[in-house]
Chain A
Amino acid sequence: MKKAIKIVTILITMILISMIGFFGIYVQKQNRMENIVKGYDLAMDLNGARVFTIKPKEDTKTVIKDTEGNVIEEELTDEEIQEKGYTKEEVNQNQDKLTIENYKQVEEITIKRLKEMKVENYEIKLNEQTGEITIEIEENEDTDTIISNIASVGKFEISDSETEEVLINNDNLKEANVLYGSDTAGTSVYLEIVFNDEGKAKLEEISNTYKTAEEENTVEENATTEENTTTEENTATDESTTEETKQKQITMKIDDETIMTTSFDTPIRTGKLQLNVGKASTDADTVNDYAKKASTIATTLENGKLPLEYEVGGNEYIFSEITNQEIQYIVLGIAIAVALALIFLMIKYKMKGILASFSFIGFVALYLLLIRYANVVISLEGIFGIALILIINYIFLYTMILRNKDKKEHIKFFLKIIPLCISSIAFCFIEWIPVTSLGMILFWGIILMAVYNYAITNPLVNMIESKE
């Protein structure tokens, strides 16, 4: 009698879990019923993606040519051009840079930037004829920032503020990092630019040449506390100082935008420049914003300069080509296969089979709930992972029905799937959503399989066996 009550209790619990897992819990909210069970997080391939293109920037210039094709330098009106029989043409100044090699280099740099910006799922296509690159990325809060920065040229220059002679450029860069510094006044975010050996020597020479005059104090030691990297006001103040004292100064530019104009207090021998991006007292959001800004500049600088200027073309959100209907077909296919397999169990093993089938359905429902609450992103790989776990759980169930009392068989089963456990854990740490998705789904599936079958299926089958 006690056993019967136990069985019924377990079955009712499983039915309840199954109903929640498969259908959800609906509550009334503002005159409509809403499912309060968390929905599935779908990856780009199942949900949709932001699709945008970057293309070579057209830098056109009007060129006047005579009848023999020679370029006429003098400025002429349309009437004069017509009178003299000249022709006017729009010429792309970047024409000589429009080569496949350059396009491929841009593609490579773009991939590096995407990785650096922690984009864990993307698709990139290069049109080798036009140089246009089509990129698909996940839609999230960082998507717009990524799109606005991905096509930056990443040109870095330190030049003489007066003669504009370039003293250091991208070739002298080694890496760029984001650093934090805390004191009682708050947290500062720095952009650290590290130079290679050649750059280090050049920087030392420049910091000696452009040394601050003794009475002046433009930049503190190692140029670490220049207030704001983009403030025009700051630059203007520095420039006015220059005029008064005839102090030689350098100008630092990123993508032709002046970041600062300054001189050096002491020679820099470390080969590192630290620029203060911003400081916040307690506001974590502000610090994060500064960090994001610094990180974007670091990413742009670190992965090399684009060989030609690019601009963002089309930018839109496109839904997945795998429609809900197709997903429904897949789910239906899996459901039919599961139903057939369970019917086979019920016919072959009678009561044991029926209980095992109930247990399997409960497992599926609980698994689907676990995936949702463990914040697992489901991709196509993930769907394959779910199917794999269901098959493995079915085989385990079968082993339990046949040899439930032989605990060694259970251990043997798990020993055989150790590669699956290794794969699942290793995949979880890969920064590529389709692989991570599979890893996470397998990981939670294996954990649940071990715990659920030990706690639910095993006692159920045991009870029936002892009854028999």
Chain B
Amino acid sequence: MEKNEKFEKTKKKSTIALLISIVVIIIGIIIMATKGFNFELHYQGGKRIEVELGQTFEVKDIEDISKEVLGQNVSVQTVEIYKDVVSIFAQNITEEQRNTIVTKINEKYGLELASEDSKIIEVPHTHLKDIVKPYIFPLILTTIIILIYIGIRFIKKTSPEILIETVGVIAVAQALLFSIIAIARIPIGRWTLPLALVVYILSTIFCTERLETLISLNKTEE
């Protein structure tokens, strides 16, 4: 009786969680279709200038100058092994902004750099499919192996539906993650795919954890 109550409670909780997930996923899909994803500057594309200082510098200094001229969404990177060249990347850099940045760098470091030497380079954006592509095969391969394992270990003790459930849990977890990213307008960036991989691993552990618990409950009942 007690076990049945516990089972019912868990089932009810799972149903609520699934319903909430479906709602979030639907909202996510609508936002993805209408507004698309928000991308981190690195993947967004934009314009880049390189300033050859001819001496070492503090990235923080250049970052402050760039943010003052270009706004907060700026990426500053050191170029080449001598670390005397800086790359400034932003969504847009006009010639006037470039000139201001070079002037400010000159003032800061007592240099006489000519702004014309720093050409404005256009950087194309990265397609989401190109970011995701290298991860698809590993995930499909791993999922197949995990499904084989689950099939061997659990099907006899439960039912063949567990395979569909496992695929469902993995897919819902990923869809949920990307929906939250789309809804919260979190930029897709270098952190997104590592996070997606971790969510994938956790969702597979969740599936086996649930099945192991179910089997041990059945054993206790017997």
Question: Interface of A with B (CB < 8 Å)?
Answer: 45, 123-128, 130, 132, 134, 314, 316-323, 379-381, 383-385, 388, 412, 415-420, 422-423, 426-427, 430, 432, 434-435, 438, 442
Q: Specify which chain A residues have a CB less than 8 angstroms from the CB of B137 in the assembled complex.
A: 430
Mind listing 8 A-B residue pairs with CB under 8 Å?
A317-B79, A383-B194, A384-B197, A388-B201, A412-B216, A416-B212, A438-B197, A442-B201
Q: Is the pair B134, A435 in contact by a Cβ cutoff of 8 Å? A: yes
Q: Specify which chain B residues have a CB less than 8 angstroms from the CB of A127 in the assembled complex.
A: 122, 124
Q: Is the pair B142, A134 in contact by a Cβ cutoff of 8 Å? A: no
Residue among B138, B209, B216 facing the most chain A CB atoms (10 A cut-off): B138
Q: Is the pair A381, B146 in contact by a Cβ cutoff of 8 Å? A: no
Q: Is the pair B194, A427 in contact by a Cβ cutoff of 8 Å? A: no
Given contacts A384-B198, A432-B134, whether A318 and B79 have CB atoms under 8 Å apart is yes
Residue among A384, A423, A427 facing the most chain B CB atoms (10 A cut-off): A423
Identify A322's interface contact among B87, B141, B190, B209, CB under 8 A: B190
Q: Specify which chain A residues have a CB less than 8 angstroms from the CB of B207 in the assembled complex.
A: 419
Closest B-chain residue to A53, C-beta based?
B121
Identify B212's interface contact among A124, A412, A432, CB under 8 A: A412
Q: Is the pair A380, B194 in contact by a Cβ cutoff of 8 Å? A: yes
B126 interface contact, C-beta 8 A: yes
Identify B201's interface contact among A128, A130, A420, CB under 8 A: A420
B66 interface contact, C-beta 8 A: no
Q: Is the pair B146, A419 in contact by a Cβ cutoff of 8 Å? A: yes
* CB of A83, distance to nearest CB on chain B (Å): 37
Q: Is the pair B42, A419 in contact by a Cβ cutoff of 8 Å? A: no
Identify which of residues 181-222 in chain B touch chain A, using a CB-to-CB cut-off of 8 Å. Answer: 190-191, 193-195, 197-198, 200-201, 204-205, 207-209, 212, 216
Complex Cα–Cα for A374 and B98 (A): 46
Residue among B42, B85, B197 facing the most chain A CB atoms (10 A cut-off): B197
Closest B-chain residue to A133, C-beta based?
B124
Q: Is the pair B77, A321 in contact by a Cβ cutoff of 8 Å? A: yes
Q: Is the pair A318, B138 in contact by a Cβ cutoff of 8 Å? A: no
Complex Cα–Cα for A380 and B121 (A): 28
Q: Is the pair A422, B194 in contact by a Cβ cutoff of 8 Å? A: no
Complex Cα–Cα for A134 and B122 (A): 10
Q: Specify which chain A residues have a CB less than 8 angstroms from the CB of B78 in the assembled complex.
A: 318-319
Identify which of residues 43-72 in chain B touch chain A, using a CB-to-CB cut-off of 8 Å. Answer: 45, 59
Complex Cα–Cα for A125 and B39 (A): 14
Give 8 closest A-B pairs by Cβ, nearest first: A419-B204, A127-B124, A381-B194, A319-B78, A125-B124, A384-B194, A426-B142, A430-B138
Q: Specify which chain B residues have a CB less than 8 angstroms from the CB of A420 in the assembled complex.
A: 201, 204-205
Given contacts A416-B208, A426-B145, A432-B138, whether A438 and B194 have CB atoms under 8 Å apart is yes
Complex Cα–Cα for A391 and B85 (A): 41
* CB of B112, distance to nearest CB on chain A (Å): 23
B81 interface contact, C-beta 8 A: yes
Given contacts A123-B126, A418-B208, A419-B208, whether A380 and B145 have CB atoms under 8 Å apart is no
Given contacts A412-B212, A426-B142, whether A381 and B197 have CB atoms under 8 Å apart is yes
B80 interface contact, C-beta 8 A: yes
Complex Cα–Cα for A468 and B145 (A): 45
Complex Cα–Cα for A316 and B197 (A): 31
Q: Is the pair A419, B138 in contact by a Cβ cutoff of 8 Å? A: no
Given contacts A321-B42, A321-B75, A434-B194, whether A426 and B205 have CB atoms under 8 Å apart is no
Q: Is the pair B190, A380 in contact by a Cβ cutoff of 8 Å? A: yes
Complex Cα–Cα for A415 and B205 (A): 10
B135 interface contact, C-beta 8 A: yes
Beyond contacts A132-B124, A381-B194, A427-B138: 4 other A-B pairs, Cβ-Cβ < 8 A, are: A321-B75, A418-B149, A419-B205, A423-B200
Complex Cα–Cα for A438 and B138 (A): 12
* CB of A130, distance to nearest CB on chain B (Å): 8
Q: Is the pair A423, B124 in contact by a Cβ cutoff of 8 Å? A: no
Q: Is the pair A435, B81 in contact by a Cβ cutoff of 8 Å? A: no
Q: Is the pair B124, A422 in contact by a Cβ cutoff of 8 Å? A: no
Residue among A316, A319, A388 facing the most chain B CB atoms (10 A cut-off): A319
Closest B-chain residue to A130, C-beta based?
B122
* CB of A95, distance to nearest CB on chain B (Å): 20
B167 interface contact, C-beta 8 A: no
Complex Cα–Cα for A399 and B204 (A): 20
Given contacts A419-B208, A432-B134, whether A319 and B142 have CB atoms under 8 Å apart is no
Q: Is the pair B87, A318 in contact by a Cβ cutoff of 8 Å? A: yes
Residue among B76, B124, B125, B209 facing the most chain A CB atoms (10 A cut-off): B124
Q: Specify which chain A residues have a CB less than 8 angstroms from the CB of B75 in the assembled complex.
A: 321
* CB of B207, distance to nearest CB on chain A (Å): 7
* CB of A398, distance to nearest CB on chain B (Å): 15
Q: Is the pair B138, A416 in contact by a Cβ cutoff of 8 Å? A: no
Closest B-chain residue to A431, C-beta based?
B134
Q: Specify which chain B residues have a CB less than 8 angstroms from the CB of A419 in the assembled complex.
A: 146, 149, 201, 204-205, 207-208
Residue among A123, A321, A427 facing the most chain B CB atoms (10 A cut-off): A321
B29 interface contact, C-beta 8 A: no
